[in-house]
Amino acid sequence: MTLLALGGINIDFIVEAPVIAGRGETREGTAFYTTPGGKGANQAVAAARMLDGRVPVEMAGMLGDDRYSEEMRSDLEAAGVGTGFVGAVDGEHCGVAVILIDASGENSVNAVYGANARVDGAAASAATAGLEAGSVLLVQQETPLEATAVAMRAARERGATVILDPAPTREDAAQLFALADIVTPNEHEAADLVGTPVRDAGSARDAARVLRAHGAGAAVVTLAALGVWVEADGISELVPSYDVEPIATVGAGDAFNGGLGAGLALGLDLIEAARIGVAAGALCVTRRGAQEAMPSRAEIEALMAGGSL
């Protein structure tokens, strides 16, 4: 049994500022730092920290030949994530994301995916060949959708559970819904996908039902401080979040997905796994960075036991 994440591996350049500059404006920031990121890599690290060696975690994706690529591979390995399915493209840079964080902790992201765009069906097939019943595949949309579909289809055929984080939103991504056991948009992505605002538990429930009607096996809509709405066969409920003081929301969705996947890999049911994901996301927003913000198993268990930070 394995947890495999197929997706983006990026270096993040983060600027914190009281107010994010608008078009034609220049504003002063208060902090700058870099952090290993990328939705796929973040989710792999989040899962590895929660699983703590109980289930092997592998990353599949593509890096370039620049110095950041070397750092990204080393960071994954240091977190306990296998990189045997992470390739390298000569003459290409790794994915890059520029992230702006305002005084409330909310972020905006512009990314250039670089080597991530070179993930193909052959790489996806090779990475998923060892999956089996009980395994979990985490995918997002920072790599080509064609390769992602190959991986999802192969994982389903092998009896693995497939979790699709439909981020960033893409117009032609609906083809992936029927290949997903679970789709996990945040409220903004859910609104883009169904065409109506998603602001609370009721609208999240409605959006989740639309996503299931479009083929998703189950839909989990993340709602930041409210928690997550879970819609599946026999399940229609809100899993509430925890009372925390957010510093930055970078990586919160990835922490949730990694925690969710880890819970399922441990054999927990969907609600129990979602609770782990919610705790991981809540802890993530209390610290800076992306992969380094992903909480450990002990931290998640302590939060779930105590209920607040």
Specify the 3-state DSSP secondary structure of 227: strand
**254 is annotated as an active-site residue:** yes
Give the count of domains, the chain. 1
Tell me the per-residue pLDDT of 41-78, one tens digit each, with 9 for 90 and over: 999 999 999 999 999 999 999 999 999 999 999 999 99
What does the pLDDT read at residue 105?
83
Percent of the chain with pLDDT over 70: 99
- Cα separation, 133 vs 233, whole angstroms: 20
Burial of 109 (0-12, 13-18, 19+ CB in 10 A): middle
Tell me the per-residue pLDDT of 17-45, one tens digit each, with 9 for 90 and over: 999 999 999 999 999 999 999 999 999 99
What does the pLDDT read at residue 39?
96
pLDDT band at 109 (very low <50, low <70, confident <90, very high): confident
What does the pLDDT read at residue 46?
98
The whole-number average pLDDT for the span 199-221 is 97
What does the pLDDT read at residue 171?
83
Write out the residue range of the structural domain in which residue 162 sits. Answer: 3-306
Amino acid identity of residue 64, one-letter, is G
Least confident of 97-111, 181-195, 230-244: 97-111
Q: Of the listed 65, 75, 254, 269, which one is catalytic?
A: 254
Least confident of 94-103, 131-140, 205-214: 94-103
Q: Where are the alpha helices (DSSP H) in 88-232?
A: 121-128, 145-157, 187-194, 201-213
What does the pLDDT read at residue 303?
96
Q: Where are the alpha helices (DSSP H) in the chain?
A: 39-51, 67-78, 121-128, 145-157, 187-194, 201-213, 252-265, 270-284, 297-306
CB-CB contact of 100 with 250 (8 Å): no
> Given a cut of 70, is residue 308 above it in pLDDT?
no
- Cα separation, 286 vs 138, whole angstroms: 24
The whole-number average pLDDT for the span 143-150 is 97
- This prediction's pTM: 0.94
Beta-carbon contacts of 115 under 8 Å, excluding residues fewer than 6 positions away, are 9, 62, 63, 64, 69, 88, 89, 92, 93, 94, 95
The whole-number average pLDDT for the span 218-238 is 97
What does the pLDDT read at residue 249?
85
Beta-carbon contacts of 266 under 8 Å, excluding residues fewer than 6 positions away, are 51, 54, 55, 273
The whole-number average pLDDT for the span 141-151 is 97
What does the pLDDT read at residue 172?
84
Amino acid identity of residue 31, one-letter, is A
> Given a cut of 80, is residue 309 above it in pLDDT?
no
CA torsion 89-131-216-112 (nearest 10°) is: -10
What does the pLDDT read at residue 307?
59
Strand order from edge to edge, sheet including 10-16: 31-37, 10-16, 95-101, 107-112
Tell me the per-residue pLDDT of 165-179, one tens digit each, with 9 for 90 and over: 999 999 888 889 999
- Specify the CATH number for the domain of residue 253: 3.40.1190.20
- Cα separation, 120 vs 153, whole angstroms: 14
